[in-house]
Structure 1
Amino acid sequence: MNRNKVLTVVRVTLGLVCWFLVYKLYGVFADPLLAGVLPSVIRMILASMVVPYTLGLGAFCLVTLGMHRESISSRDGVKPGIGMLMKYFVIQTGLSFPVMVVINAVLTVAGVNSNAITADELFGNFWFYIVLLLIFNPVFEELLFRKMIMSRLSCLGTKGAIICSAILFALPHVYSQGVAQMFFTFALGLVWGYITIKTGKLWPAIILHSLSNIYCAYVPLIAAKIHPALSVVFVMSTMSVMIPLTIVFIRKEARATSK
């Protein structure tokens, strides 16, 4: 990697660090001052939605101001449809879900607590998390990581931009949700970056992001709430179905792209 490419990665990374710091510093210093002043849901909206994508995004744009940006898209310009979305939903689940399950199991055996959201928190703030996880985060995180960041990493080439943006997408999740989520979101970031480039459009990644949050956040917690054994059935059925299908789809994709 030449010097200009290294500087590009460093600058984009620094921009993301500033974005993350604005988000976290607000949570540590400003948000506690609003306790008892504003309703809790308003504080949650400010901390999770407004601040990261106004002040935080502004900090990112300031650090990366003037950088060369280029939209990266496949020459084929494949038109996305329901069939494609379902195929990549299977692939993203088959790649990410087993990683999360295995690492969570290892951490549990090691006595390390997970920072993942709990059922009480998720369902106790039902409408907030519906909007955050199914609409807001899919739209704005894809806008930041698959649009703004990947376009600034275009000098790395298609593969380099996808991998680097996936790493940058995964790293903040270490702090907020733990090690398992880092590997989980890295795998997701690879798929979302790939489909964004393959189609030349952002909305397929947004939909896949939302579907991932439904399947990997809501469904397991709902299953566990109904009966603990049901969550085990869900995990085992997902592993046994999604992994073989993912292998088949990836092989077909590899053969198609090599022609």
Structure 2
Amino acid sequence: MKVNHWLRYSWLVCAVLFWYFMNRMLTKFLTNYLSQTFINLPSAMHTLIVTVLIPYGFSMIILYLLIKPLVPYRFLAKKKMTFKELVNYSVVMNGIGMFIFLLFILGCRLIGVSIKQPLGDSMVSEWLMALLLLLLNPIFEGILFRKLLLERVPALPHLKQALLGGLLFAVPHFFSLGIVGGLRTFWLGIFLAYVTLNSRSLKYSAILHSISNLYAYYLLTFLLDYPVLFFLFYFVGMPCWAFYLIQRYFKSAPSSEKDWECKL
């Protein structure tokens, strides 16, 4: 990237870090304030305030003011994606991402290394967790990372721009989920950014984000009770399908980067 591109991207990274640590500071302040004033909010309300209102309300306004001086590169006209394309993107994104993620977890456990695992908060009710994972997070994180931030990533070929957008998405997750969770989020962020850039729409990336959360939380939790099915699905079926799609894609990939479309 050119020097001014590096400066622009460094600005975005610093803004995301400021947004993340401001969220933590405000959450700690709210928790201490409530405990000192003996105000007991219902757990659902407290969770929504901490996970939605603070990060995607007040904090996102501050983030927007920080990045406002960076002129956005507006997306062009929207393009429709077929159901088959969405399914194939989901298979590659989740099939490889979760396969590598689970391999890392198994490897760390074998050598006795403890890592953070995003398995959810046991204090949050199931319906609220579903609301967060399947609806609110995909929508609000899409607005933040694939609207406000991705539009301000230096204008580069889509694959390079998606890599930078994926790294922005992963930066706060490295702190909240650890290295392994952050790497999986990086992989996920690349795909979501690439789909957004190709479709010029947040709708498809939000759908894929929701499917990814469903795949990584609910389906994983269900199949853990059936070890054989779990192994066949997460370590054989989905990875093999994903590698087949990647192989097919690169066989038909165009020679010029400017002609890249959703080929999966």
User: TM-score, length-normalised on structure 2?
Assistant: 0.86
Instruction: Give the drift of 1:34.
Output: 2.5
Alignment deviations for residues 164-184 of structure 1 (CA, whole Å, 9 cap, x no partner): 110111121122122221111
**Counterparts in 2 of 1:25-44, with a 5 A limit?**
25-35=25-35, 37-44=40-47
Aligned mates of 2:201, 2:252 — CA distance in 1: 19
Instruction: Give the drift of 1:111.
Output: 2.2
Instruction: Give the drift of 1:208.
Output: 0.2
Aligned counterpart for 2:54 among listed residues 34, 51, 55? 51
5+ residue gaps, structure 1? none
Q: Which amino acid aligns with 2:170?
A: A
CA contact (8 A) 1:23 1:56 kept: yes
**Counterparts in 2 of 1:195-234, with a 5 A limit?**
195-224=195-224, 226-234=225-233
2:262 matched to which residue of 1?
none
1:86 matched to which residue of 2?
87
What secondary structure sits across from 1:236 in the alignment? helix
CA contact (8 A) 1:34 1:43 kept: no
User: TM-score, length-normalised on structure 1?
Assistant: 0.87
2:253 matched to which residue of 1?
254
CA contact (8 A) 2:17 2:171 kept: no
CA contact (8 A) 1:8 1:153 kept: yes
Aligned mates of 2:21, 2:120 — CA distance in 1: 27
1:243 matched to which residue of 2?
242
1:192 matched to which residue of 2?
192
Aligned mates of 1:250, 1:169 — CA distance in 2: 25
Aligned length: 255
CA contact (8 A) 2:22 2:59 kept: yes
What secondary structure sits across from 2:81 in the alignment? coil
CA contact (8 A) 2:162 2:190 kept: yes
Alignment deviations for residues 36-74 of structure 1 (CA, whole Å, 9 cap, x no partner): 62122211111111100112101211211221101245x
Aligned-residue Cα RMSD (Å) equals 2.5
Q: Which amino acid aligns with 1:132?
A: L
5+ residue gaps, structure 2? 260-264
What secondary structure sits across from 2:155 in the alignment? helix
Change beyond 3 A, Cα 1:34–1:253 = farther
**Counterparts in 2 of 1:59-70, with a 5 A limit?**
59-70=62-73
1:159 matched to which residue of 2?
159
Change beyond 3 A, Cα 1:240–1:62 = closer
Aligned mates of 1:19, 1:92 — CA distance in 2: 27
Q: Percent identity?
A: 25
What secondary structure sits across from 2:253 in the alignment? helix
- 150-159 or 59-68, larger mean C-alpha shift: 150-159
Change beyond 3 A, Cα 1:160–1:244 = closer
**Counterparts in 2 of 1:58-137, with a 5 A limit?**
58-73=61-76, 78-118=79-119, 121=122, 125-137=125-137
2:149 matched to which residue of 1?
149
Aligned mates of 2:243, 2:67 — CA distance in 1: 41
Aligned mates of 2:61, 2:25 — CA distance in 1: 15
Q: Which amino acid aligns with 2:100?
A: V
Change beyond 3 A, Cα 1:119–1:195 = closer
Aligned mates of 2:116, 2:27 — CA distance in 1: 16
Aligned mates of 2:163, 2:88 — CA distance in 1: 20
Aligned mates of 2:107, 2:235 — CA distance in 1: 17
- 64-73 or 242-251, larger mean C-alpha shift: 242-251
CA contact (8 A) 2:134 2:210 kept: yes
Change beyond 3 A, Cα 1:231–1:92 = same
Q: Which amino acid aligns with 1:85?
A: L
Change beyond 3 A, Cα 1:27–1:111 = farther
Instruction: Give the drift of 1:253.
Output: 5.6
Aligned mates of 1:223, 1:22 — CA distance in 2: 37
